[in-house]
Amino acid sequence: MNRIVKSSGAVVGGLACSLLALSAQQLPRPAFRSGVDVVTLDVTVLDGNRRPVRGLTASDFRVQCDGEDCPIVGFDAIDLPDRARASARWLEDVTPDVSTNGFTPDRIVVLMLDDWNTSSGAPGAIAVRKIALGIIDALRPSDLAAVVYAFQTKRGVDFTTDREKLRAAVNRFTVSRPSNLPGLSGACLHNSCGLDVMRAVATATRAWPDRRKLMAYVGPEGTYALGPQNIEQNASEANQAAVDMTPALMDTFRELQRSNVTVYQFDPESRFAYVANTVSDDVTVLCTSNLDVVATIPAGKGAHLPVLSPDGRFGYVANFADDDLTVWDCQDYRVIARIPVGIYPHFFALSPDGKWIVVSNTGESSICVIDAHVHETRARLRVGAAPAHIAFSPDGELAFVGCESSDEVAVIALKTQTVVESIKAGQRVQ
């Protein structure tokens, strides 16, 4: 490995000895008092496509303490299985009806929303909320989570397992700094408000010394130079290359390290483009800020028309020569499903609420209605000849499919998955 940060489940030991001085009247017998500082470090190792790297050993890692190598005296590789989702979305959102003081969380998760440095305007706030809600959706029942704000601290919520409280705190997000207020404003000079919150997180999480602790910082990448988007890093090492390394900044990251808080960064201002390649049967993911290729996602024959779900969690592409859809996870670009549909799926679209996928099977004059939560086809309905373009009613309850060869528009009720009307239109409906 070219760049090594920390070891997964590693234990770092250092021996400190102090000589107990004795007066001349005492027996000249030396006495020693010794102590061992043991620190447990967690790290996730990802490859270039942000997929977990497995099979590593202690020899693959190097741990430094204040710039000096420290020995690794213990190592455990923990391979976590893919997260199993409930068959129904509401099962993941049920708040426990029994509270107990004996609850022991598996992980401590803190979402820090940077309402001071995020660009003003609706797109920035929408992106922050979308990222944070996606993180909440990925929490496990045994996770304890909190939401904190960099500036408007009263908008957050303390540690809880209640996802609705967490979502409510996230949905309160707005950008706090006016667009005409300079970055060096005394209201949050040198981003000191964010550093204060980070130090408070470090202090609060010391209550769980033997738990995994994660902080997801949702804010512009350049603010604190925490590292590349979505990449887990040792905050101190990642910031060594930053231009403005004030003592307060370094002290903050050391506090997070001492509390064993692993920091993730999610940049709400980054943008990605998804390009379907019909000949190579895959999807290229491009970073629009530098045009670097982030990942290549395998698809089916004739891959075309890439689409993202409204919440940005999943991506879809139609494979017209394989008569199916490829579905991938936008967090790690892993293919999670291939959904069989009809002949020549030339067009498809997602309903505004993200619940349904409607596919026009142009080669057999039918449409498929797919449940987007479980990625399963619920109905395959006959419509007019050569169905193509798709639109939805504002409430998302109806889908309208233009049938080019029969000059009509099929109207589908999505809840009942039935064709409720066929409207005659002009020639070559689009």
What the chain holds in terms of domains, given with CATH numbers, is 1-79 (no CATH), 89-96+103-270 (3.40.50), 272-424 (2.130.10.10)
Span between the terminal Cα atoms of the chain, in Å: 53
| pLDDT for position 265 | 77
SS3 (DSSP) at 47: coil
Give the whole-angstrom CA distance, residue 114 versus residue 332: 24
Taking every pair of Cα atoms in the chain, the longest distance, rounded to a whole number of angstroms, is 112
| pLDDT for position 24 | 36
Give the whole-angstrom CA distance, residue 42 versus residue 356: 39
SS3 (DSSP) at 275: strand
> What percent of the chain clears pLDDT 90, i.e. is strictly above it?
33
C-alpha dihedral over 420, 425, 428, 430, to 10 degrees? -60
SS3 (DSSP) at 209: coil
Taking the complete model, does pTM exceed 0.85, yes or no? no
Range in 201-205, 240-244, 331-335, 372-376 with the lowest mean pLDDT: 240-244
| 64 and 2 Cβ atoms separated by less than 8 Å | no
Give the whole-angstrom CA distance, residue 222 versus residue 242: 9
Give every CB contact of residue 244 below 8 A, 6+ residues apart in sequence.
none
Across the range 322-349, mean pLDDT stands at 92
pLDDT higher at 275 or 222: 275
| pLDDT for position 243 | 37
**Structure tokens of 154?**
């009263």
Q: How does residue 29 score in pLDDT terms, banded at 50, 70 and 90? A: low
Give the whole-angstrom CA distance, residue 198 versus residue 254: 11
pLDDT higher at 330 or 49: 330
Is it the case that residue 419 has pLDDT exceeding 80? yes
Name the average pLDDT for the chain: 77
Per residue in 140-197, pLDDT tens?
888 999 999 999 999 999 999 999 999 999 999 988 876 545 444 557 776 788 889 9
| pLDDT for position 70 | 83
Give the whole-angstrom CA distance, residue 344 versus residue 342: 6
| pLDDT for position 50 | 53
